[in-house]
């Protein structure tokens, strides 16, 4: 094995492993991404002991980075568990919405019947119940009214007016 042939101590001139605190994850764009590239060469093709020491120092740095990534993943897993607990314990306000959607590049209108759950921290979860093309406006409104009657205590909102930019 390669580890048997390496010196027991870190040779002089080789950078040691630097331990770092777990990096804070910045979700500025809604996600956090870290990419690691590891390049391994065939040990049998290395010709000099100095190059072996150099490659060994690279491997030590890669191991340190991967240990840091593992610590970051464990921290992220704890954050996910905390979020799961929050979502399961916090009551969400639910609202029924009939919304008129029209893209600014197309002339097609769609009526969407949505069930919106809002949490106190501002997070929204939207479930689409149904979607109707613009020509089926009456059917979308009748489905909205029927859903309102079947769920009497549920807050509801009809947002089907043309937007200012459409006029």
State how far the Cα of 132 lies from the Cα of 136, in Å rounded to an integer.
Answer: 6
Counting Cα atoms < 13 Å in the Cβ hemisphere of 2 gives: 13
Determine the pLDDT at residue 9.
Answer: 42
Last residue of a domain, one of 89, 117, 132: 89
pLDDT above 90 (res 104): no
pLDDT above 60 (res 21): no
Lowest mean pLDDT among 6-10, 48-52, 110-114: 6-10
Of residues 150, 99, 145, the one with CA closest to residue 126:
99
State how far the Cα of 136 lies from the Cα of 140, in Å rounded to an integer.
Answer: 6
**Range of 97's domain?**
93-166
Last residue of a domain, one of 89, 104, 130: 89
**22: pLDDT confidence band, cut at 50, 70 and 90?**
low
Both 22 and 46 in one domain: the answer is yes
Number of structural domains (the chain) is 2
Number of Cβ within a 10 Å radius of residue 53: 17
99 and 108 in contact (C-beta within 8 Å)? no
Indicate the SS3 state at residue 132: strand
**Cα-based torsion angle of the residue sequence 86, 89, 95, 100 in order, rounded to the nearest 10 degrees:** 30
């Amino acid at each position: 094995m390669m580890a048997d042939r390496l010196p027991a101590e870190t040779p002089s001139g080789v950078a040691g492993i630097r331990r770092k605190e777990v990096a804070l994850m910045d979700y500025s764009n809604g996600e956090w991404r870290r990419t690691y590239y590891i390049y391994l060469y065939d040990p049998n093709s290395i010709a000099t002991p100095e190059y072996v020491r150099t490659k060994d120092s690279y491997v030590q740095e890669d191991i340190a980075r991967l240990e840091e990534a593992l610590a970051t993943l464990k921290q992220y897993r704890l954050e996910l568990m905390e979020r799961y607990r929050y979502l399961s314990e916090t009551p969400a306000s639910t609202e029924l919405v009939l919304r008129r959607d029209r893209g600014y590049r197309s002339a097609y209108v769609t009526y969407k019947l949505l069930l919106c759950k809002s949490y106190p921290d501002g997070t929204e979860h939207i479930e689409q119940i149904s979607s109707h093309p613009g020509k089926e406006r009456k059917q979308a409104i009748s489905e909205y009214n029927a859903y309102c009657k079947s769920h009497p205590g549920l807050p509801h909102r009809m947002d089907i007016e043309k937007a200012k930019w459409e006029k």
